[in-house]
Amino acid sequence: MKPRDMALFALVALLILGTGYLQSWNAALNILNMGLISAIMALGVNMQWGYAGLFNVGVMGFVALGGLGAVLVAMPPVGESWSAGGLRVLFALGIGVGVIVGAIQLWRRMARGALRGLAMVVWLVAGFFVFRAVFDPAVAAIEAVNPAATGYLGGLGLPVLFGWPVGALLAAGAAWVIGKTALGLRSDYLAIATLGIAEIVIAVLKNEEWLTRGVKNVIGIPRPVPYEVDLQADPGFVERAAGFGLDPVTASTLYVKLLYAGLFAIVLIALIWLSQMALRSPWGRMMRAIRDNEVAAEAMGKDVKARHLQIFILGSAVCGLAGAMMITLDSQLTPASYQPLRFTFLVWVMVIVGGSGNNFGAVLGGFLIWFLWVQVEPFGAFLMEVLTSGMAADSALRAHLLDSVAHMRLLTMGVILLLVLRFSPRGLIPER
């Protein structure tokens, strides 16, 4: 890092510290924690776009799959649901996979012609109905088990930290499937394909109640850190808090957030170290060579498609990891909260503004853009209050303007992205 980069990071640190002094330390730590997670998402996208030039606009889907991984690992299993239909659901899913694999085999083995097409269609349609015949009753049975509290299979009941790699693996698996089909195609097609898969992932999370409880949300996911109420009941903790001059409630919330920040920081630092090593290694140089000139790289004997698939899976896995971490921080999975503007396009703004191709740039972008995303709203409200102070108090326009301030952040993000693209197209910390 150059001195200028250090100064930029110091600026972001100052912004967060300033939030602590001016607003509250809880708010500052919230920004820090989500900033850490955003930085990891930005690292993932940076691997795909910055190293390899792959245009993935399905970040939201991978983040959500990561969250699903955390739920499937950390939530206690619901024994009643498992006995009601757990194995039947797994069996149905097995049938589904079998049908697809069978279709692929059919396509490969049979000779070209109308017969092959017909056989495929018959096989797939028949397979679909067999799948639904097994799947539907099992799902109905599971969802009927105490729908208000469970109504789903639950997870494995393991510590949530194990969910992080599982979330990454789930995202990687999805990336493998998409990469296999869409990576050979043009960049625009990959973009639309990833956009589509992200919507489908969210649709699955929202609708497959046996898996995720759907819009009823999974709440109370076990945490890797102590609970605030336990800390407040612990006399030793209360005493130490008093030593800092803090009341137990504030102290416990700050302590929990600091623990999270520590956990996330460890992951982020490890990832930065790994990606820096990778970028500087022969592998990283090969990736950038492929990005800059695919034809030349192919002529040199590099397997462009396999390399693209590799980096696509790696980047998506990092996004999945960040998604699992976010679910851990929130302690809940709310499928309806996944919005493409927030989870796909905002991460893109982070990468572009920070500097694509540079890991530190992506991390800086993650922190900076997240800070702005959070702070634009109160700042905009303040600004609008000042601007409209001249208007009559009961003016309809004034009320409308004040109400609409919440939407300022989208506008601001767009303006920032366009300004950076225009005047500093390589980002705040450019690739070196």
Query: Where are the strands (E) in 137-271, listed by range?
Result: 218-219
Nearer to other proteins, 79 or 425 (CB): 425
How near is the Cβ of 233 to other proteins at its closest, in Å? Answer: 42
Residues in contact with other proteins, counted by CB under 8 A, come to a total of: 46
CA distance 247 to 253: 10
* Amino acid present at 140: A
Per 3-state DSSP, the chain is made up of helix, strand and coil in percentages (nearest 5) of 80, 0, 20
The verdict on 308 binding other proteins (CB under 8 A) reads: no
Nearest-angstrom CA–CA distance, 357 and 364: 13
Is residue 336 at the binding interface for other proteins, with CB under 8 A as the rule?
Answer: no
Q: Is 408 in the site for other proteins (CB under 8 A)?
A: yes
Closest by Cα among 378, 377, 379, 355 to 366: 355
| Nearer of residues 106 and 410 to other proteins, judged by Cβ | 410
Residue number, 190 or 429, with CB nearest to other proteins: 190
Let me know how many helices (H) and strands (E) the chain has, helices first.
Answer: 20, 2
Instruction: Please check whether residue 44 is in contact with residue 316, taking contact to mean a CB–CB distance below 8 angstroms.
Output: yes
We find the least distance from the C-beta atom of residue 177 to other proteins, in angstroms, to be 10
From the list 86-94, 181-189, 271-279, 314-322, the region that binds other proteins by CB under 8 A is 181-189
Distance CA 419, CA 98 (A): 50
- Segment 42 to 71, residues that bind other proteins, using CB under 8 A: 53, 55, 57
Residue type present at position 413: M
Does residue 141 belong to the site contacting other proteins (CB under 8 A)? no
Q: Which is nearer to other proteins, 104 or 270 (CB)?
A: 104
Decide if residue 414 touches other proteins (CB under 8 A).
Answer: yes
Q: Does residue number 112 form part of the binding site for other proteins (CB under 8 A)?
A: no
Q: Which is nearer to other proteins, 182 or 327 (CB)?
A: 182
Q: Which of 348, 346, 370, 354 is nearest to 429 (CA)?
A: 354
If phi over 0 gives left and psi between -120 and 50 gives alpha, with beta otherwise, what is residue 129? Answer: alpha
Tokens of 37: 């997670």
Cα–Cα distance measured from residue 231 to residue 240, given in angstroms and rounded to the nearest whole number: 11
Q: Which of residues 339-368 bind other proteins (CB under 8 A)?
A: 339-341, 345, 348-349, 352
Choose the stretch contacting other proteins; rule: CB under 8 A; options: 108-116, 195-203, 265-273, 278-286. Answer: 195-203
Chain residues binding other proteins by CB under 8 A are 53, 55, 57, 128, 136, 181-182, 185-189, 191-193, 195-197, 199-200, 203, 206-207, 339-341, 345, 348-349, 352, 403-404, 407-415, 417-418, 421-422, 425
